[in-house]
């Protein structure tokens, strides 16, 4: 099974039954990829604001307390650059030469935060925003090699995690337009294909098909697949055969 497929498997059951535990999911992801830590910083999700964000981390409680006590949110270059960025921000792009920044990253490392990091900005269409951050140890060279192959996985996980958080906060909230693979899945389902048949055609697992179906229903605000297909044709999401 491909790595991206395993990400779906990691999220599917929690996403489907609404029992997801965000910190536990982050810990599972860290264990799967051998990461040092992960964090989700959300604004305008589940009634959170910029002053009181929705925060889920694998960091130690000691680091969180120290971070807040030191008011590092005003210094943290990851926060400052992340919310203004469109593409993922790699920590090695930050200037660590300043004494304040060296102290900040040095203290973070002492509390178990990996020195290498990647922060992925996520934007929703209803004013919701988030930063999804992962960190790792080891040499910068190995980190860059790993990101070359795994950055897409982390971007997908960030998007799915954000959708899970926002959906839990407001199940009726509309989501973004369908991704290409979701459209492909919907096209095959519109022809009457079963989950198994669709999985064979698309080269993915049945779990992933069901995950796509749930996302499609949620994004389109549809009660069932027939309703989703009708809406998709009315909105020109579906036009011709797959």
Does 117 lie in the same domain as 37?
A: yes
Domain presence at residue 24 = yes
Give the total number of structural domains in the chain.
2
Q: Does the pLDDT value for residue 17 go beyond 60?
A: no
| Interatomic CA distance for residues 166 and 205, integer angstroms | 25
| pLDDT the model gives residue 157 | 81
| pLDDT the model gives residue 203 | 93
- Structural domain span for residue 230: 180-234
| pTM above threshold 0.75 | no
Q: Which one of 150, 169, 188 terminates a domain? A: 169
Residue 51 sits in a domain whose CATH number is 3.30.450.80
Candidate from 57-61, 88-92, 162-166, 172-176 with smallest mean pLDDT: 172-176
Q: Which one of 138, 169, 200 terminates a domain? A: 169
| pLDDT the model gives residue 202 | 94
Q: Does the pLDDT value for residue 16 go beyond 70?
A: no
Contacts of 197 (CB under 8 A, 6+ apart): 188
């Amino acid at each position: 099974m491909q790595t991206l497929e395993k990400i779906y498997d990691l999220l599917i059951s929690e996403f489907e039954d609404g029992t997801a535990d965000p910190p536990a999911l982050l810990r599972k992801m860290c264990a799967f990829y051998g990461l040092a830590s992960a964090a989700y910083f959300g604004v305008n999700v589940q009634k959170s604001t910029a002053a009181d964000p929705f925060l889920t981390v694998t960091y130690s409680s000691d680091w969180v307390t120290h971070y807040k006590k030191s008011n590092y949110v005003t210094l943290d270059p990851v926060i400052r650059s992340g919310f203004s960025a469109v593409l993922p921000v790699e920590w090695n792009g930050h200037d660590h030469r300043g004494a304040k920044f060296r102290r900040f990253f040095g203290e973070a490392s002492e509390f178990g935060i990996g020195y290498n990091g990647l922060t992925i900005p996520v934007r929703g269409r209803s004013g919701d925003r988030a930063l999804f951050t992962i960190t790792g140890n080891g040499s910068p060279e190995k980190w860059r090699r790993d990101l070359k192959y795994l950055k897409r996985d982390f971007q997908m996980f960030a998007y799915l995690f954000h959708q899970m958080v926002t959906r839990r906060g407001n199940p009726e909230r509309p989501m973004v337009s369908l991704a290409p693979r979701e459209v492909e899945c919907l096209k095959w389902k519109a022809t009457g294909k079963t989950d198994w048949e669709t999985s064979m055609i698309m080269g993915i697992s049945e779990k992933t098909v069901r995950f796509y179906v749930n996302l499609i229903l949620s994004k389109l605000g549809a009660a069932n697949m027939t309703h989703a297909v009708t809406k998709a044709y009315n909105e020109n999401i579906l036009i011709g055969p797959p």
